[in-house]
Amino acid sequence: DAGRLGDELGVPVYAVGGFVRDLLLKSPTLDLDLVVEGDGQAFARAFAARHQGRVREHSKFKTAVVVLPHFTINANQPPREQKVDVATARLEYYEYPAALPTVELSSIKMDLYRRDFTINALAVELNPASFGRLVDFFGSQRDIKDRVIRVLHSLSFVEDPTRMLRAVRFSQRYDFRIGKQTLRLIKNALQLNLLDRLSGHRIFNELKLILNEEEFLQDLEMMQDLGILKAIHPKLEMTPHRKALLEELDKILTWYGLLYQSPTPRRWLLCLLAMAATWKEEELLALTVRLGLSKKEERELVTLRRSVHKAMDLLKRWCAGDKSLSELYGIMHQTPLEGALLLMAKFDDDCIKKHLSLYLTTLRGIQLQMSGEHLMDMGLPPGPIYTRILDSIRAAKLDGRASTLAAELALAE
Ligand code: CTP
């Protein structure tokens, strides 16, 4: 349909980038990127109107994002909300990097040439007369077949140093190797400290993407081997101890992911804390500055770290006592999900690990028959006494003790 609209507006329309790459790799794809050889914003407006969608335009870059409420890319899947990025390919928008020879390229060719890797530089024509024709100027299909990640030109990492992290991410995700020349360019870029030029925010965004990948551990190891981790921050290093902790964390995340689809633990919090397990708080704060964390993110990181430390001490003591489940609940229910997962990874002690898993799967969700509303119906004036009563009913339930409301009331008062 995008192609038909292209015809109506008299502009060639292409699907590009990750969408085409994933199509050729037969891996499920969610994002749709379109390039229009003409006015991309006008196309986006018409496309949105046709599908009762919304459009957000970025005039500076001549791009737009269309959000379609009921869209199907794949006929076998039910319609769902779909974001479509629409870019404009016009020769006048391209600034040629100074050191590159000036060559006459068509606008779609130029658009593809500005991209990061050959595997992302493919386009598929969508206009009906040539629907489905693959546009491959730079040997992309060959590189996908050979499973290799290659830049399109030698200034690629100078133009955008985050591409070093993207190379690692794609390489591990698809099990592709990084081409020899591309590897050499990464090493040169690191020697020139090009990552230092990037804002912390951009590095942090790429790191988050990496940590959300299934293979995040291999990504981190590859970044360590290439020297990318220490280029981001000298203290970021995969020591054997950190690696062991991250491996344990990886197993726990897989276990948790199989049990619960949501909420998903925030991996960046977990991995940064695992990396910084032995650092002083000031050292962690220096890293948050380098990575441009927002104040909110910084607060979350520091609070989580403190609550993990506190829970760790309490759990050690709990382990030496009579191990009541109500006490375990008392220690853990203030700790965010990420903290509980990190503690599971940190403790070697099987007994604590098992109890933490019991806490996550059962104890934290335990339901009481009594609620504040019941107490109010009984005419008890609201106040802190409610929490005390409900806590003590919960504790009795967790520890398998019989409890009557009269007894709890007497105790709480
Ligand atoms: N791109 C680029 N340089 C970057 C980021 C992106 O050239 N630093 C280009 C790539 O061609 C990429 C496209 O912009 O295909 C879209 O970027 P993005 O959505 O980040 O990448 P995807 O390839 O869709 O990757 P993912 O599957 O991780 O979403």
**Omega into 263 within 30° of 0, i.e. cis?**
yes
The string of DSSP codes covering 285-353 is: HHHHHHTT--HHHHHHHHHHHHHHHHHHHHHHHHHHTT--HHHHHHHHTTS-HHHHHHHHHH---HHHH
Residue 402 pLDDT > 80, yes or no?
A: no
- With a CB cutoff of 8 Å and minimum separation 6, the contacts of 241 are 277, 278
What pLDDT digit, counting tens, does each position of 165-174 carry? 999 999 999 9
Residue 106: pLDDT band (50, 70, 90) is low
Can you tell me the distance from the alpha carbon of 410 to that of 413, in angstroms, rounded to the nearest whole number?
5
Residue 380: pLDDT band (50, 70, 90) is confident
Residues with CB under 6 A from ligand 1: 17-18, 31, 33, 115-116, 120, 160, 162-163, 166
- Element counts in the chain: helices (H) and strands (E): 21, 9
Quote the pLDDT of residue 370: 72
Q: What is this structure's pTM?
A: 0.86
Residue whose Cα lies nearest atom 15 of ligand 1: it is 17
Can you tell me the distance from the alpha carbon of 398 to that of 381, in angstroms, rounded to the nearest whole number?
26
Order of strands, sheet of 123-125, starting from the edge strand that comes earlier in the sequence: 54-58, 63-71, 80-88, 32-36, 13-16, 123-125, 134-135
Classify residue 151 by its DSSP letter: B
Residue 17 CA, ligand 1 centroid: distance in Å = 7
Higher-pLDDT residue of 404, 346? 346
ipTM tops 0.85: yes
Cα-based torsion angle of the residue sequence 395, 399, 402, 405 in order, rounded to the nearest 10 degrees: 0
Looking at 54-63, 227-236, 346-355, 388-397, which range is the least confident one?
388-397
Q: What is the mean pLDDT of residues 203-220?
A: 95
Q: What is the mean pLDDT of residues 150-168?
A: 97
Can you tell me the distance from the alpha carbon of 209 to that of 263, in angstroms, rounded to the nearest whole number?
18
What pLDDT digit, counting tens, does each position of 316-329 carry? 988 888 888 888 89
What atom in ligand 1 is closest to the CA of residue 22?
A: 27
Q: Which two tokens stand for residue 413?
A: 């008062």
Q: What is the mean pLDDT of residues 99-109?
A: 63
Quote the pLDDT of residue 170: 97
Q: What is the mean pLDDT of residues 267-284?
A: 92
What atom in ligand 1 is closest to the CA of residue 18?
A: 23
150, 186 in Cβ contact below 8 A? no
Can you tell me the distance from the alpha carbon of 206 to that of 123, in angstroms, rounded to the nearest whole number?
24
Q: What is the mean pLDDT of residues 39-66?
A: 92
Residue 397 pLDDT > 90, yes or no?
A: no
pLDDT, the chain, mean: 89
Residue 165 CA, ligand 1 centroid: distance in Å = 12
Which percentage of the chain shows pLDDT scores above 70? 93
Residue 101 pLDDT > 60, yes or no?
A: no
